[in-house]
């Protein structure tokens, strides 16, 4: 079966033909597009290896390491998961998804940092408050932001991985939950809606929202209040997925979600410079696998809807897992549960960053031609600079 294109290949064509395309992207979006286009190409430089067994040289280009790049996220996910092994407890874990109604999508596009922060805050505060009211305990939450649907349109939601129980507020006991039930989703949904809309109203009153183009009428208080009323009438979905069977299942799940980007290379089926074809699941039709073709400009526009603001944190921890005092709280919980201290993170022998080569015995790098672990590093290759444009001569 012929392999499809990669996202990097598609974006390289976009960068090369940017003058002919009618793409209107923000500077941060162009920065990401150019980084992904240069990934694993001579534009970023690389390293030169020699194999004495087959007497061949091999150039391995550097990766971009951009968090929006599907080719660069696997190793980052592995590194992150090793750290999470320290904080997992032998308790049930629950998976909840908090989704914003699509009526707010245009407003979020123009106020991404503030309104995505508000999404994290409303979802986490809802869960922490339910833990305090229903259990009298501080639950642990890992929240992961996703902004896309399968067809690359905006679909803002947070995946919450929640501990089945928490540390009592006095810190002297562990209060657990049933293995199959955490909190009622309808009540969660109502509180989540109330917190988000209250926060949205507060941002408006403080003058911290922007309104451009078709959203300019929302500057008027009456128009903005109408948007809030329309959003309040919608069904704010809080979805409780099947509880995890244990900590290891949590790890397997997180490995597929924490560092996922809007579209993976394996979903890309074809590209001809004018259009891009990719597969997607149609959840409105029983999650059937379907195929969609978009013009290259529309494909890039949709992909760039999911470029996060610079420095924005998309994986956050709250409550029991909050960064401040987390080590001490987890040590206390393990003592209360009567389990051993958290496992030390084991060093995993992996190829050095950016080499993209398989490792043999004792971490020796294998030749991609003959497969023998005999590669020798000759040295680094500097980034390839674009050829200078010829000077424009005065014809007068």
pLDDT at 357: 65
| Residue owning tokens 């790890």 | 251
Instruction: Output the DSSP codes for 32-60.
Output: HHHHHHHTTSGGG-EEEEEETTTTEEEEE
Chain centroid, CA 312 distance in Å: 11
HSE-CB of 209 using CA atoms within 13 angstroms? 25
pTM confidence score = 0.87
pLDDT in tens, the chain (396 residues): 457 899 999 999 999 998 888 899 999 999 999 999 999 999 999 999 999 999 999 999 999 999 999 888 766 666 677 677 777 888 889 999 999 999 999 999 999 999 999 999 999 999 999 999 999 999 999 999 999 999 999 999 999 999 999 999 888 999 999 888 899 999 999 999 999 999 999 999 999 999 999 999 999 999 999 999 999 998 899 999 888 877 778 877 776 777 789 999 999 999 999 999 999 999 989 989 999 999 999 999 999 999 999 999 999 999 999 988 888 999 999 999 998 765 443 333 233 344 456 656 666 788 988 988 889 999 999 998 765 544 544 443
Please give the Cα distance from 57 to 369 (Å, whole number): 10
Residues 158, 96: Cα–Cα separation, whole Å: 8
Tokens representing residue 65 in the block: 């390491």
pLDDT at 78: 66
Nearest alpha-carbon partner for 17 in 40, 39, 33: 33
347, 341, 348: which is closest to 87 by C-alpha?
341
Q: In terms of Cα–Cα distance, which of 339, 332, 317 is closest to 169?
A: 332
Q: Extract the tokens encoding 198.
A: 């209250």
Q: What is the pLDDT of residues 29-64, one digit of tens each?
A: 999 999 999 999 999 999 999 999 999 999 999 999
- What pLDDT was estimated at residue 355? 47
Q: What is the pLDDT, as a whole number, of residue 141?
A: 95
- 3-state SS, residue 91: coil
User: In the prediction, which pLDDT does 4 show?
Assistant: 83
Distance spanning both ends of the chain, measured CA to CA:
58
The gap from C-alpha 374 to its chain's centroid, in whole angstroms, comes to 37
The two three-digit tokens of residue 270, written as one number: 């074809």
Half-sphere exposure of 392 toward its Cβ, with a 13 Å CA cutoff? 1
> Measured on CA atoms in the order 223, 225, 230, 236, is the torsion positive or negative?
positive
Cα torsion 194, 195, 200, 206: sign:
positive
Q: Which of 61, 16, 60, 59 is nearest to 34 (CA)?
A: 16
Of 180, 164, 160, 181, the C-alpha closest to 333 is 164
- Helices 7-16 & 27-38, crossing angle to 10 degrees? 120
pLDDT of residue 388: 54
- The whole-number pLDDT of residue 294 equals 97
∠ CA 9-14-19, nearest 5°, is 155
């Amino acid at each position: 079966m012929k392999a499809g294109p990669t996202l990097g290949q598609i974006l390289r064509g976009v960068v090369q033909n940017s003058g002919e395309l009618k793409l209107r992207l923000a500077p941060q979006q162009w920065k990401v597009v150019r980084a992904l286009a240069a990934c694993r190409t001579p534009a970023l430089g690389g390293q030169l290896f020699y194999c004495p067994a087959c007497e061949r040289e091999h150039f391995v280009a550097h990766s971009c390491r951009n968090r929006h790049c599907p080719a660069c996220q696997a190793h980052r996910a592995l590194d992150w998961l090793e750290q999470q092994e320290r904080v997992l407890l032998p308790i049930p874990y629950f998976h909840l998804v908090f989704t914003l109604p699509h009526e707010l999508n245009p407003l979020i596009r123009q106020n991404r940092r503030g309104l995505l922060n508000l999404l994290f805050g409303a979802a986490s505060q809802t869960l922490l408050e339910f833990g305090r009211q229903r259990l009298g305990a501080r639950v642990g939450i890992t929240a992961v932001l996703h902004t896309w649907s399968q067809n690359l349109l905006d679909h803002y939601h947070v995946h919450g991985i929640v501990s089945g129980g928490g540390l009592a507020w006095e810190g002297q006991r562990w209060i657990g939950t049933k293995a199959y039930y955490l909190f009622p989703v309808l009540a969660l949904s109502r509180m989540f809606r109330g917190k988000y809309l209250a926060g949205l109203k507060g941002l408006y009153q403080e003058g911290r929202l922007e309104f451009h183009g078709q959203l300019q009428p929302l500057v008027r208080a009456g128009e903005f209040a109408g948007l809030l009323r329309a959003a309040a009438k919608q069904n704010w979905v809080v979805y409780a997925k099947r509880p995890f069977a244990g900590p290891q299942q949590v790890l397997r799940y997180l490995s597929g979600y924490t560092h996922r980007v809007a579209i993976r290379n394996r979903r890309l089926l074809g590209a001809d410079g004018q259009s891009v074809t990719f597969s997607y699941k149609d959840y409105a039709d029983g999650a059937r696998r379907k195929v969609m073709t978009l013009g290259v400009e529309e494909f890039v526009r949709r992909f760039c809807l999911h470029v996060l603001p610079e420095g924005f944190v998309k994986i956050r921890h709250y409550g029991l897992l909050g960064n401040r005092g987390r080590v001490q709280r987890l040590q206390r919980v393990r003592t209360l549960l009567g389990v051993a201290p958290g496992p030390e993170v084991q060093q995993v022998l992996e190829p050095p960053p950016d080499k993209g080569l398989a490792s043999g015995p004792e971490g020796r790098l294998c030749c991609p031609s003959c497969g023998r672990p005999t590669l020798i590093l000759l040295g680094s290759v500097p980034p390839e600079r674009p050829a200078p444009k010829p000077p424009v001569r005065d014809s007068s």
